Structures are given as C-alpha cells and as structure tokens.
Chain A
Amino acid sequence: MTESGKPILYSYFRSSCSWRVRIALALKGIDYETVPINLIKDGGQQFSKDFQALNPMKQVPALKIDGITIHQSLAIIEYLEETRPTPRLLPQDPKKRASVRMISDLIAGGIQPLQNLSVLKQVEEELQLTWAQNAIISGFNALEQILQSTAGTYCVGDEVTMADLCLVPQVANAERFKVDCTPYPTISSINKRLLVLEAFQVTHPCRQPDTPTELRA
C-alpha cells in the first residue's frame, strides 16, 4: 500500500488482463495508484527481480491491497467482489454466477493465454498473427454461441458482470490482431454497449498513465 493507504495496481496500458481489473476498480469506486510495468521496454520490466518477487508468474496485473498482493485478474476481481460487494459484479443466483464464471474463464483461460506476448514469442514471427487470430476465432465462435442463451443487455442478463470486464479487453485484442468480428454480432453489440459506460472509458488503454503519446486519446 502507498503511504496514503491506497491500493497499488501493477499494470500495462495495453494488457487486456490489466484492463479487466482497472474496470472492476473503477466500477467499485476504488481509488488506487498505478505502477506501470512495460512489457516490452528494457527486455520486459516484468522480468525484473523486484517484480518477480511480487508476482512469480512475471505477468501483469498484480494488485497490492489490504496488506496482501494478489495476481491473476479473476482472483483479484473475485476478492474485490467479496470485500467491496457493491455494486455487484456477480449476480446473486448461483446458475447465473456459473454463466458469468464460465464466460470469464473461457476468455481468461481459453483465449487470452494463447495469444499473449510470451506465447507469441515462441512462435515463428511470420506465423504469429495467424496463431493469435486462430486463438481468438476459436474462442469467439464458442462465445457467440454461448451468449445466445445468457445475454441480455450485457453478457449475462442486464447488469454488468465480471464476464463483461473480460469481453471488452478481448475484443480490443481481436481488433489489434485484425480479426474480422462480423461473424460475432452478439459479441460486437454487447461490446459497443459496454464501451459507452464511464468505467470502460476511463480505464481504456488510450487513457492510462503509461499510454504512449502517439496512442493517447
């Protein structure tokens, strides 16, 4: 914690996993400080000894809060939900909660890890774009189908949930990797509705302390 007692978020402006947590903090009205970790500069600041001690997985995000350090974005979000329960990020009904977690895990465990920087670096350079696109397309094919039964205004019903916090950053990744989202009208329309909400705007990669000048909003 800082001297002021504020939580500290270790984040990279463009990291989709970091963005999920930024949205959760914004929605819950939790004031925090950002320590930017540049995943590319200096060979990747996530590999520094200091950061490795904080998160042995050498990944962002990590959150220092209430005297502990948590990493893994969904573990962070569930902790915030349990300790700062309003507004809710998970519905009350267990079956709806299962849908929220299922969608979140599909994105956070089934798509993003396959197209993150450290995995792409292990693929031959000329194959990297196709690799990333395939990961996203496989996942979005499944997600578009799942949303047929779960979605209302947002991913699960009509309230913003943890699933939506995962969706928007993943769609941003899809755009970065030039994935054609025309086959995914439900994903696209939910994404559009979420992007107008303040919490998704203020936490956007284009408005972060470490956003490079040329990418700033």
Chain B
Amino acid sequence: MKQVPALKIDGITIHQSLAIIEYLEETRPTPRLLPQDPKKRASVRMISDLIAGGIQPLQNLSVLKQVEEELQLTWAQNAIISGFNALEQILQSTAGTYCVGDEVTMADLCLVPQVANAERFKVDCTPYPTISSINKRLLVLEAFQVTHPCRQPDTPTELRA
C-alpha cells in the first residue's frame, strides 16, 4: 500500500496499524489493550475504526495531494471535525478515565495521534471537551511520551523536544 507503519515480527510482516496492534494483543496479551468483555471490546473497535477508517484516511498525505492546494486545509479540517463531532458523542457513553472505561485500550492509541493531527491542521478542539480531557490524561503516560513524534530517531532537529 506504500504506507507506514509496517512491522516485521515473528517471521512475518504486517501492515495496517490496527491489524498490527491486534496481533500484538493476541501474541503478547499483557498488559491488555482490549477489555475482556465482548461489548466493551466492540466499543474499543468501534472508536478505533472510526478514527483509523473514518477520519485519518480522509486527511492523510496521499489524499490531500489530490485536492487543490488552497482547499487542502479545509478538506483536512472537515474530515476531522465530522469525525470528532461523532466521537465526542460516542465517548459520552463509553468513556471513564479513558476512551472506554478506566483502562488504556486500542481506542486511546488511536485518539492521541488523531488529536495531534487536529492540532497540526488547526482544528479548534473547544467543542470536544471529552476528547480533549482524555487526550490530556493519556499524554502524561510514559508510553505516549516516549513514542511522541517529537522524540523519534527521525524527528527533524527543529521539531525535537
């Protein structure tokens, strides 16, 4: 698909971020990234798919390049706003400390990077208090900090933390 990420692990190569995460969950099950209860698992997948299938693909680089340059920002913003409008509503019924209940799940792994995209595209997140507060709580966790775009091997100097 000529996209990142791809993971080489256990003799195979997997791409599609959620397929990778579900494989990691099934082969390295602790700590859990999906709850045990099927209904809560459905909520986690629903939120993850909303972001990974319903927002991000519409505002990624290869799609934006097909839109006229002066319309690209609005296009990206619209994709994010539509998705966040829905997500903010859904989180009313699923969220505890995090997206689904009080444990970090795959849904949270999707949320934080998407909020970062929203900031990059100058989307006003005031209408999304639940998204914003969950994002804030997640960003203080070590796993979200060490993996942040500003701390990667390929982070340009001017963007390094």
Contact = CB atoms under 8 A, between A and B. Distances in A.
Interface size on B, as a range, is 35 or more
Nearest to A67: B39
Contact of A57 (B3, B14, B20, B86): B86
A122 B42 contact: no
B49 interface: yes
A113 B66 contact: no
A97 B46 CA distance: 18
A138 B2 CA distance: 10
A94 B26 CA distance: 7
A56 B89 contact: yes
A56 B86 contact: yes
B121 to A, nearest CB: 16
Q: Which DSSP category, helix, strand, loop or mixed, fits chain B's interface?
A: helix
Contacts of B90: 56
Interface in B40-82: 41-42, 45-46, 48-50, 52-54, 57-58, 62-63, 66, 75, 78, 82
B18 interface: yes
Nearest to B55: A113
Interface of A: 55-59, 66, 68, 70-72, 74-76, 78-79, 82-83, 94-95, 97-98, 101-102, 104-106, 108-110, 113-114, 118-119, 122, 131, 134, 138-139, 142
